[in-house]
Structure 1
Amino acid sequence: MDLAARYQGACDAALFAAECSEDAYRLGELDTVLKPWVRHEIARREDNLSWCDNSSDLALAVGGVADIAPAYARLRRELFSDLHHIGRPEPPWRKVGPTLAVRAPLQVWRRRPQYALRVPEGGIAVAGARTWEFTVFARVAAEPGAGTGVTRTAVAHRVMAFGADSRTGSRDDSRKENIRETTVQVTHELEQQREHYEELTYGFGVLGIRARFAALYDPDAGQGPAASPPG
């Protein structure tokens, strides 16, 4: 078997392992985001042999493929526990990739929304501006007299972000961290949904983005949404 076929076999094995973890840890609505993401990550590595000039390059390319499946399986196990296991801390936002984060609150006692924040395909991505998509997955019980079913809804809000990279910490601090600061514009509809609006701030935060939400202020205290995530 030649090298190209063996490398493709590694990509196929990564996809098979991802499919096994998906069968083991089913995540409902979040799978509409996670399944396409992992397949895209595997597919974009399939051509990495083209830049391999030596054994070190090959090891790097193969390692990139081999790392996907176990990391994806760990993520799915954590999200599954977030959804179903009692006694854990409040589930946090979890970073999936540089432009994707999700949150899966506990669903045992009450129906709580799940969230995804990502950069959509076909969105605006130019210097200083980028389109994000903030999706709220909800389950709504049937109205009295309308049966016992549950309606699943997914509402995607388009979010425009404007900003540039900066660094946190003082000038004398050698442990400065790269933080992207951005000003965010959202729809009026999302701005009125205070719980979801606040979750959006936490989603950006886990991706290392310090978002400025200047449009919404607490009418009682005159302050914007909280800066720290729950838990």
Structure 2
Amino acid sequence: MEVDSCLVPIFIEAAVPKQIKQIGTGIFLDFQSAPFLLTAAHVTDEMGIGRLLVPTINGLSEIEGYHAHIDLLPELTRSDDSVDMAYFRLTSDFARSLCSYFYPLIGKTELLTSSLELGVVSVVGYPASKAKRKASKFTSELAYYRGVAADQEVYDLHDFLYDENIIVHFHNKRAVNPENGKSINPPSPRGVSGGAIFSWPEGHEVSQDWSKPKLVGILHSYKAKEGLFIGTTLLPYFAAIQLGSMKGFGGVT
């Protein structure tokens, strides 16, 4: 199974203005034999203005399950949040409905002690520009962005922690095809928030074999001017899930 089959586009159905649009990406994950959808907190913040929907066997359906995220102090905004983490512990029935189009990632993850260990990585998600609507049917498609992990100087410069965050060099205007080195014009990363950061093993830096990379983090930001993707390692997510487990995930089964 290819690891990118766990990526799920996230839509919002807003009342004002009345519309449905794609706003982010989630990662369908089996963790400790329970189904989860991992994403960025600024994506789930949108629940304040509408319902979050994902594709299921029943069409676009509202996400069902226990939702958790990190609250901010009143004087802070989500842009001040270097972790920007949220997840859903999905109900079992809803997870089964997702399996019509997606497959939960089982294993194929790596808990980093330091992002400085990374080499070549890929950021994968659903850019908003690829979302299309024809009548009542919505479609989208994945985009793949491959870059090189940053060194400690970049973390220090932008005030991020390499044991908590992942920074990847990627300039949209300088992008090249990893197979032939030719210039490409990738879609804008808007909408890829909550998408996956996969690490390629040594010797497979330009591979297209998606059975090889492991999930190491979740994307939350793209700094276009600096050419940097920024995400969070899996450790804060798994720690938050353990806390949710202590609360019984609000009774979700």
Shared fold (TM-score, shorter chain, > 0.5): no
Q: Which has the higher strand share?
A: 2
